[in-house]
């Protein structure tokens, strides 16, 4: 049996960042995952570090959009009929948190984390020797209709109040930045305080390697074996059992598998999403992630090719993949950018771990001494991994947290 100060369960971007921050504070830490670091959700995202978002992604509230989604005609959303009943309570809660007032409230609560996200990544990238994956080129959101651009105005005004900068561009201005795009849109917003990564998997691996260099151990094991043993937490790994006074659950969409049997109830929902890489035709290229807001997909330059990512699919976490959204968005993506053939046979499926208020759950687990929670980062887990690592490590070591962690407590749902 090995003894450590802390066990971190889950080696996605969140768990790996927590483990690294704890190791930087001098703790002996075991990072446990059934796979290699960064190989699940943290691998396949759009690679955006959204230092400058305003409102979290909301449940549609307009009737026309709801009807489009219900009829499975919305390119940005899909759902499984058979799972609707099961996920209805979470969807209802998410709908409730999608009013303009609640979105503003979540935006303000997220801001202390978001505003530090680029700087926190940059610091870890530097010390991990991974700056080559980092781009400070912003991201661009495109609007095909004047009305859609006009509808952004209240969000931009509120963004300006909370310190989020966005630069409006006409088609020509956007094409000057991204000459390979076709002029199928009328307006664009350039968000300069956003950064991106050209290979999120390699970045999580680099953070894990840095953690190992500081004396941390990465182990293979099943987090569901977590249990109490002589007043400590114990998890079984391929190298034998590991004990620690503190354990952190950072299992992303799988976090409920471990916390629910321990009596910790949190409304963790899943928004599935897909990606596929494409060759760019000729010498076409992109310098930054691009969001086509009309059809709810993103294209972003990755080391593997141009990665096309889809919006949300509401279905059971473990249901078989149904990547129908590619059929809906691909013609529009091809209209915008000269995408060639796909690089892989099948699209990749990922699962965003989402709380209904779009805030992560960070801090102590209610009623379980020594158990900490760090999950539910939804659409922005890649962005928020390092800043989460800092906050959790500060809380666990009794340092003054850089921000008040109250808004992220699990108890907010009780």
Ligand X SMILES: Cc1cc2nc3c(=O)[nH]c(=O)nc-3n(C[C@H](O)[C@H](O)[C@H](O)COP(=O)(O)OP(=O)(O)OC[C@H]3O[C@@H](n4cnc5c(N)ncnc54)[C@H](O)[C@@H]3O)c2cc1C
Site size with ligand X, rule: CB under 6 A: 42
CA 310 to chain centre: 13
Backbone angles phi, psi at 298, to 5 degrees: -125, 150
In the list 222, 245, 303, 335, the residue contacting ligand X (rule: CB under 6 A) is 222
The answer to whether 312 and 351 are in contact (CB under 8 A) is no
In the list 7, 8, 14, 130, the residue contacting ligand X (rule: CB under 6 A) is 14
Question: Does 10 contact ligand X by CB under 6 A?
Answer: yes
Question: Does 273 contact ligand X by CB under 6 A?
Answer: yes
Q: Which helix (H) or strand (E) holds 349?
A: strand 348-354
In the list 4, 6, 8, 42, the residue contacting ligand X (rule: CB under 6 A) is 42
Window 365-384: contact mask with ligand X (x via CB under 6 A): ----------x-xxxxxxx-
Its sign, for the CA torsion 204, 135, 150, 175, is negative
Q: Which range binds ligand X by CB under 6 A, 38-46, 73-81, 118-126, 398-406?
A: 38-46
Backbone angles phi, psi at 360, to 5 degrees: -75, 165
Q: How many CA atoms within 13 Å lie on the side-chain side of 238? A: 10
Which one, 216 or 273, has the nearer CB to ligand X? 273
Question: Does 13 contact ligand X by CB under 6 A?
Answer: yes
Question: Does 299 contact ligand X by CB under 6 A?
Answer: no
The least CB distance from residue 394 to ligand X, in Å, is: 19
Rounded CA separation 133/118 (Å): 13
Rounded CA separation 8/303 (Å): 29
Question: Does 57 contact ligand X by CB under 6 A?
Answer: no
Which one, 97 or 375, has the nearer CB to ligand X? 375
The least CB distance from residue 360 to ligand X, in Å, is: 8
In the list 21, 210, 352, 390, the residue contacting ligand X (rule: CB under 6 A) is 352
Question: Does 47 contact ligand X by CB under 6 A?
Answer: yes
- Residue 90's SS3 state is helix
Question: Does 224 contact ligand X by CB under 6 A?
Answer: yes
E-assigned strand segments in 42-109: 48-49, 77-79
The least CB distance from residue 326 to ligand X, in Å, is: 12
In the list 3, 35, 72, 265, the residue contacting ligand X (rule: CB under 6 A) is 35
Query: Given the structure tokens 């009596």, which residue do they identify?
Result: 263
In the list 23, 30, 40, 190, the residue contacting ligand X (rule: CB under 6 A) is 40
The least CB distance from residue 147 to ligand X, in Å, is: 26
Question: Does 193 contact ligand X by CB under 6 A?
Answer: no
Which residues within the stretch 244-263 sit at the binding site for ligand X (CB under 6 A)?
Answer: 250-254, 257
The least CB distance from residue 369 to ligand X, in Å, is: 22
Q: Indicate the burial class of 366 (C-beta count within 10 angstroms; 0-12, 13-18, 19 or more).
A: middle
The least CB distance from residue 261 to ligand X, in Å, is: 12
Which residues within the stretch 113-172 sit at the binding site for ligand X (CB under 6 A)?
Answer: none
Backbone angles phi, psi at 378, to 5 degrees: 55, -130
In the list 4, 29, 41, 294, the residue contacting ligand X (rule: CB under 6 A) is 41
Q: How many CA atoms within 13 Å lie on the side-chain side of 233? A: 26
Its sign, for the CA torsion 179, 333, 99, 405, is negative
Q: Which range binds ligand X by CB under 6 A, 88-96, 226-234, 326-334, 347-355?
A: 347-355
- Residue 169's SS3 state is strand
Which one, 16 or 98, has the nearer CB to ligand X? 16
Rounded CA separation 94/267 (Å): 10
In the list 21, 30, 34, 308, the residue contacting ligand X (rule: CB under 6 A) is 34
Give which of 27, 17, 10 is closest to 399, Cα–Cα.
27
Q: Which two tokens stand for residue 230?
A: 């002589």
CA 378 to chain centre: 5
- Residue 293's SS3 state is coil
Residues interacting with ligand X, by CB under 6 A?
A: 10-15, 33-35, 39-42, 44-48, 50, 222-224, 250-254, 257, 273, 275, 309, 350, 352-353, 375, 377-383
């Amino acid at each position: 049996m090995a003894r450590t100060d802390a066990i971190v369960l889950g080696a996605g971007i969140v768990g790996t960042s927590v483990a690294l921050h704890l190791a930087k504070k001098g703790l002996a830490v075991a990072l446990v995952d059934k796979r290699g670091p960064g190989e699940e959700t943290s691998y396949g995202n759009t690679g955006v570090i959204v230092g400058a978002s305003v409102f979290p992604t909301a449940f549609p509230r307009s009737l026309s959009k709801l009807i489009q989604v219900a009829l499975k005609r919305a390119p940005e959303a899909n759902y499984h009929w058979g799972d609707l009943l099961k996920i209805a309570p979470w969807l209802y809660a998410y709908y409730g948190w999608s009013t303009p007032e609640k979105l503003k409230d979540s935006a303000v609560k997220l801001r202390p984390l978001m505003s530090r996200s680029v700087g926190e990544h940059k610091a870890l990238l530097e010390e991990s020797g991974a700056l080559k994956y980092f781009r400070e080129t912003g991201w661009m959101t495109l609007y095909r209709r004047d009305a859609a651009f006009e509808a952004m105005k209240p969000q931009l005004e509120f963004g300006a109040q909370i310190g989020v900068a966005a630069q409006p561009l006409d088609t020509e201005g956007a094409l000057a930045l991204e000459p390979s795009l076709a002029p199928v849109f009328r307006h664009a917003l350039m968000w300069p305080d956003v950064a991106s990564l050209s290979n999120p998997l390699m970045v999580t691996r680099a953070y894990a390697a840095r953690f190992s260099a500081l004396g941390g151990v990465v182990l293979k094991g099943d987090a569901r074996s977590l249990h109490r043993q002589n007043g400590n937490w114990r998890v079984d790994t391929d190298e034998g059992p590991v004990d620690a006074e503190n354990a952190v659950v950072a299992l992303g969409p799988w976090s409920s598998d471990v916390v629910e049997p321990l009596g910790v109830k949190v409304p963790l929902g899943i928004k599935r999403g897909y990606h596929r890489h494409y060759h760019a035709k000729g010498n076409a290229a992109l310098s930054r992630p691009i969001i086509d807001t009309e059809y709810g997909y993103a294209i972003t330059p990755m080391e593997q090719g141009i990665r096309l990512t889809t919006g949300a699919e509401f279905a059971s976490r473990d249901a078989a993949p149904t990547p129908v959204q590619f059929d809906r968005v691909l013609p529009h993506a091809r209209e915008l950018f000269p995408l060639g053939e796909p690089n892989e046979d099948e699209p990749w499926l990922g699962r965003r771990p989402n709380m209904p208020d779009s805030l992560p759950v960070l801090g102590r687990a209610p009623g379980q001494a020594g158990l900490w929670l760090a999950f539910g980062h939804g659409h922005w887990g890649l962005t928020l991994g390092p800043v989460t690592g800092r906050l959790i490590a500060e809380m666990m070591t009794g340092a003054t947290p850089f921000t008040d962690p109250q808004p992220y407590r699990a108890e907010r749902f009780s």
